[in-house]
């Protein structure tokens, strides 16, 4: 068990190193001299040379990579060329918005997916199942930004119940904060829900035909407790893996939702940074999100044997 | 919305379970099954063909030029003259929607083809040769999988600048790992089979074996992957353009149009409706084709 966890954790290191090389490669491939960009067009050559030395841009590539990596690992993501803040400060301000959005979207996705998935599997082949499958199929084809715009039209323009965009921090009250998050979370969570729903339905269908379900029915358990205590609990185990993957994708999807709803999260931060050519900010955030994605999947993989004793035993035995 | 297409493994569901489910609901099942078998594929292919034809034939079908401005006619709701309404410059939205598919279709076709070619090439050789090369490819695929597509798009735009080419490259790179992984997984069990050994014995070259004896086994899964990958490519292309990373105004492009329409949602809600509906229609049809193809080559799945 412990050995499995250690092997799994160590296995992530080459991937993380690969990501860091790739992201550093991006900073290296970006056309134009960062020192020139920082100094501006009217700077004298001495100023540019000074900047270059100050930022270590005159060092060989591998030294620049190692010092960059050292900074990243220590949580120093660099400095913005334009705003007088460090990338870490900018990210620190924006991250809570993005995390809240990602978590709420996942919640929306689960609220849709879990009941629908369970009923679909229990009543497999019914009109409900068919209808849910059709809706999921359509949901899979709707771009989240369009869904977002349509939600704005219905709830902000037409019904005038929710704001069309902008962020209200939690400090202004829970309800105003949630109001600004409801539409983005639905726009983002719907897509994830379709995949979660399909997956839960398949894994529950599998479980429902297992011998121990027949046994628990045979010993006279009520259908409700067979379903909830035995079937759903086991079907949710593989579901957690998919949940982890979706969480990672949601982190990427926040770029779009934040753009549609004008939320000041890291998605919008990285987007404006790239469009303004503020590359320290852009690469810092790209590295951060890719690393988070890998680590989320690692955590999910590590939770898995805790949830499923069979995996735990099989792996500690081997 | 940023997930990558994968071919769900059929091993996720066990055979006996499915068989029992089929028995239990036989009547409902057979109705569903017959509806399920060929319809999605037929309807999907039909819709995709119509959308492609309409887009290619835009100059013939469009009631007006997509670029002609008429400020006195700006942001007018749908009418007999302008069935989809007009935009902020008084341009005819129906014409712009018709033309708007061109960038999307071209970019997603190119990116999926690039991804399929490179991905399969890499996957096939990795699976065939194995060893350190295989390990390296596996690692690179893992790394690429850890970048959400939109983020990859942002990274590529950082290097190449915004534009359609950046979007094509970004989607190709993002879709590539899937093709590599599927083709590698398909070839590893296959290369041990007798017919491959036989090809070796009669003296066929390595490239002949990979290209002529092993590749044909992949055509089925590959077609499914291409059509589903195409659906995702359309979504990503529109998303990246929406974010301002791809095609730029005044190019008529669905994502770009939606990005402008977002700002006019209070004055002109119809503006955002039709470009989005076009994306949904195209992606939906492509998903139908992909799903239909998957059922056609894997009859077991279709029966479920």
Asked whether residue A114 is domain-assigned, the answer is yes
Question: In chain B, whose CA is at the least distance from the CA of A109?
Answer: B1
CA gap B76, B86 in Å, rounded: 5
The closest alpha carbon to A278, from A267, A270, A290, belongs to A270
What residues of B are in contact with residue A15 (Cβ under 8 Å)? 139, 142-143, 146
Please indicate whether, in this complex, the C-beta atoms of B272 and A259 are within 8 angstroms of each other.
Answer: no
The pLDDT confidence band at residue B293, using thresholds 50, 70 and 90, is confident
Asked whether residue A4 is domain-assigned, the answer is no
Give the global pTM: 0.84
Most distant CA pair in chain A: distance in Å? Answer: 87
A108 has a pLDDT exceeding 90: yes
- Give yes or no for A271 touching B (CB within 8 A): yes
The count of CB pairs under 8 A between chains A and B is: 180
In DSSP terms, A79 is beta-bridged to: A86
- Give yes or no for A133 touching B (CB within 8 A): no
8 Å CB contact between B23 and B303: no
- Name the residue facing B265 among A138, A164, A208 (closest C-beta): A164
- Give yes or no for A300 touching B (CB within 8 A): no
End-to-end CA distance of chain A: 9
The residue to which tokens 């849910």 are assigned? A132
Asked whether residue A39 is domain-assigned, the answer is no
Please indicate whether, in this complex, the C-beta atoms of B242 and A275 are within 8 angstroms of each other.
Answer: no
Domains in chain A, number: 1
Q: List all residues of chain A from 11 to 40 with a beta carbon under 8 Å from chain B.
A: 14-15, 18-19, 22-23, 26, 29-31
Q: Could you tell me the residue range of the domain that residue A304 belongs to?
A: 93-317
CA gap B291, A137 in Å, rounded: 10
Of the CA atoms within 13 Å of residue A178, those in its CB half-sphere come to 6
Asked whether residue A26 is domain-assigned, the answer is no
In DSSP terms, A86 is beta-bridged to: A79
What is the gyration radius of the CA atoms in chain B, in angstroms? 23
Mean pLDDT rounded to a whole number for chain A = 84
What residues of A are in contact with residue B14 (Cβ under 8 Å)? 206, 209
CA gap B161, B167 in Å, rounded: 10
- Give yes or no for A248 touching B (CB within 8 A): yes
For A205, residues 6+ apart whose C-beta sits below 8 A from its C-beta are A121, A124, B13, B17, B18, B21
Asked whether residue A126 is domain-assigned, the answer is yes
B269 has a pLDDT exceeding 90: no
The pLDDT confidence band at residue B285, using thresholds 50, 70 and 90, is very high
Which tokens in the block code for residue B17?
Answer: 């379970």
What residues of B are in contact with residue A188 (Cβ under 8 Å)? 1
CA gap A187, B166 in Å, rounded: 26
Asked whether residue A187 is domain-assigned, the answer is yes
The closest alpha carbon to B159, from A94, A37, A27, belongs to A27
Please indicate whether, in this complex, the C-beta atoms of A256 and B1 are within 8 angstroms of each other.
Answer: yes
Asked whether residue A66 is domain-assigned, the answer is no
Ordered structural domains, chain B, with CATH: 95-303 (1.10.3720.10)
Asked whether residue A62 is domain-assigned, the answer is no
The pLDDT confidence band at residue B110, using thresholds 50, 70 and 90, is very high
Write the burial class of residue A69 (CB in 10 Å: 0-12 exposed, 13-18 middle, 19+ buried). Answer: middle
CA gap A140, B232 in Å, rounded: 10
CATH number at residue A244: 1.10.3720.10
Mean pLDDT of B261-270: 88
The yes/no answer to whether this complex scores an ipTM above 0.95 is no
């Amino acid at each position: 068990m412990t050995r499995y966890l250690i092997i799994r954790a160590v296995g992530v290191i080459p991937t993380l190193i690969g990501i860091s090389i790739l992201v550093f490669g991006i900073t290296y491939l970006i056309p134009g001299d960062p020192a020139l960009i920082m100094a501006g067009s009217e700077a004298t050559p001495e100023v540019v040379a000074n900047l270059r030395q100050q930022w270590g841009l005159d060092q060989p590539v591998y030294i620049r990579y190692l010092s960059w990596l050292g900074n990243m690992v220590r949580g120093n993501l660099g400095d913005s060329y334009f705003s007088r803040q460090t990338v870490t400060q900018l990210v620190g301000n924006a991250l809570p918005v993005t995390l809240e959005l990602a978590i709420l979207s996942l919640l929306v996705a689960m609220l849709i997916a879990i009941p629908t998935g369970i009923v679909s599997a229990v009543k497999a082949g019914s009109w409900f199942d068919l209808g849910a499958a059709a809706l999921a199929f359509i949901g899979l084809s709707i771009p989240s930004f369009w869904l977002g715009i349509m939600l704005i039209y219905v709830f902000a323009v037409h019904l005038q119940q929710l704001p069309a965009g902008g962020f209200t921090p939690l400090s202004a009250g829970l309800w105003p904060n949630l109001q600004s998050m409801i539409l983005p979370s639905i726009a983002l969570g719907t897509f994830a829900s379709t995949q979660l729903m399909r997956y839960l339905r398949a894994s529950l269908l599998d479980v429902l035909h297992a011998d121990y379900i027949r046994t628990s029915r045979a010993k006279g358990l009520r259908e409700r407790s067979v379903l909830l205590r035995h079937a759903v609990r086991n079907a949710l185990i593989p579901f957690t893996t998919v949940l982890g993957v979706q969480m990672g994708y949601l982190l990427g999807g926040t770029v779009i939702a934040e753009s549609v709803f004008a939320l000041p999260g890291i998605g919008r931060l990285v987007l404006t940074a790239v469009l303004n050519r503020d590359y320290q900010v852009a690469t810092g955030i790209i590295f951060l999100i890719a690393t988070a994605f890998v680590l989320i999947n690692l955590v999910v993989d590590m939770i898995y044997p805790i949830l499923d004793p069979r995996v735990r035993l099989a792996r500690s035995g081997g | 919305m940023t997930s990558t297409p994968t071919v769900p493994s059929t091993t996720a569901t066990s055979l006996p379970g499915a068989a029992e489910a089929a028995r239990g609901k036989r009547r409902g099942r057979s109705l569903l099954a017959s509806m399920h078998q060929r319809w999605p594929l037929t309807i999907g292919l039909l819709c995709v063909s119509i959308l492609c034809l309409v887009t290619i034939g835009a100059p013939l079908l469009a009631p007006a030029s997509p670029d002609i401005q008429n400020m006195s006619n700006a942001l007018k709701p749908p009418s007999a003259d302008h069935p989809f309404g007009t935009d902020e410059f008084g341009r005819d939205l129906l014409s712009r929607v018709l033309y708007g598919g061109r960038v999307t279709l071209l970019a997603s076709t190119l990116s999926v083809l690039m991804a399929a070619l490179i991905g399969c090439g890499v996957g096939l050789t990795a699976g065939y040769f194995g060893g350190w090369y295989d390990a390296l490819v596996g690692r690179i695929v893992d790394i690429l999988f850890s970048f959400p597509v939109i983020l990859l798009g942002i990274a590529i735009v950082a290097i190449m600048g915004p534009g359609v080419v950046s979007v094509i490259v970004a989607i190709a790179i993002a879709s590539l790992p899937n093709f590599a992984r599927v083709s590698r997984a398909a070839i590893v069990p296959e290369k041990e089979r007798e017919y491959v050994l036989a090809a070796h014995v009669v003296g066929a070259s390595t490239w002949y074996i990979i290209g002529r004896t092993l590749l044909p086994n992949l055509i089925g899964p590959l077609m499914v992957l291409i059509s589903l990958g195409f659906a995702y490519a359309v979504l990503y292309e529109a998303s990246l353009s929406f974010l301002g990373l791809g095609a730029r105004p005044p190019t008529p492009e669905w994502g770009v149009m939606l990005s402008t329409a977002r700002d006019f949602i209070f004055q002109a809600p119809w503006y955002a409706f039709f470009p989005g509906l076009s994306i949904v229609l195209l992606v939906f049809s492509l998903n139908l084709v992909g799903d239909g193809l998957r059922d056609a080559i894997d009859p077991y799945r279709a029966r479920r």
